[in-house]
Structure 1
Amino acid sequence: MSCREDVWLALSELWLDTELDQAALRHIATRLHASGLSLDELQQIYGYEVAPQVWLNHWTAAGVWDGFEPQWLFAGCRRNQLAGRWHRLKCRLLRRPMTYGCRAEWQQVLALLAEPDVD
């Protein structure tokens, strides 16, 4: 599994139909930190690659709760990664509904990433 694929998997956990406790959020932050990607790049991946692929899970009555199928996730995120300006514009317009269900958890992950001992 590539570094970016692990980031996609880690971030996708924010959209699962489960409540994430502090340990789960710390685990996500640790995986993101281990990627070596900058905070800016992680935010781009969150908003433009992962969110467009999984956001509807928060708007479904009985969404996925145990993890997204990796090949489906990777294919969609890869497609989103390569998409152009129109995709980015759509993501900016839909940012609020795409991140509505996990915005607080994402802010907590960002705070954990800012800690010096995130490992």
Structure 2
Amino acid sequence: MTDRALSREGVWLLLSELWLDTQLDGFGLRHIADQLRTSGLARAELESIYLYEVAPVVWLNHWSVAGVWDGFDPQWLSEACRRNQQRGRWNRFKCRLLRRPMTYGCRAEWQQILARL
């Protein structure tokens, strides 16, 4: 990614890395935080994207025995996240109910990223 402002699709791709079947080290977490900073989005907006747009799409990867490890298909991810972005209150309510299982596998990494923003 360049120094230009990060697109929303770029934010979706970066955040989806938290659910890959790989271990992120300090360098990887710093990279994600640095790139998220270039998006120009407020921290609250980034948290909303994390919880309501990306997590509902990719969370089952952490619960899979042989999950995706090399990256989610960008087109598939963008289409699914865009659908979540356009959904209303019922989707947000459902996401609140499922928040713990959806973020279980990456909650610590997300907190480290937030601390770096």
Q: TM-score range by the shorter chain?
A: over 0.9
User: Where do 5+ consecutive residues of structure 2 fail to align?
Assistant: 1-5
**Counterpart check, 1:89 vs 2:86:** no
Counterpart of 1:74 (choices 57, 70, 78) is 78
Percent identical among aligned pairs is: 72
* 1:40 to partner: Cα distance: 0.2
1:62-104 CA deviation, whole Å, 9 max, x = no partner?
1000100000000000000000111000000000000000000
Please list every run of at least 4 consecutive aligned residues from structure 1 whose deviation after the TM superposition is greater than 6 angstroms. Answer: none
1:11-38 CA deviation, whole Å, 9 max, x = no partner?
0000000000000001100111000000
**CA RMSD, aligned part only?**
0.7
Whole-angstrom distance in 2 between the partners of 1:42 and 1:29: 11
**Counterpart position of 2:102:** 98
User: Where do 5+ consecutive residues of structure 1 fail to align?
Assistant: 114-119
Whole-angstrom distance in 2 between the partners of 1:31 and 1:66: 19
Which one has a larger percent helix, Structure 1 or Structure 2?
A: 1
Counterpart of 2:60 (choices 53, 56, 61) is 56
**Counterpart check, 1:12 vs 2:25:** no
Whole-angstrom distance in 2 between the partners of 1:95 and 1:104: 14
**Counterpart position of 1:23:** 27
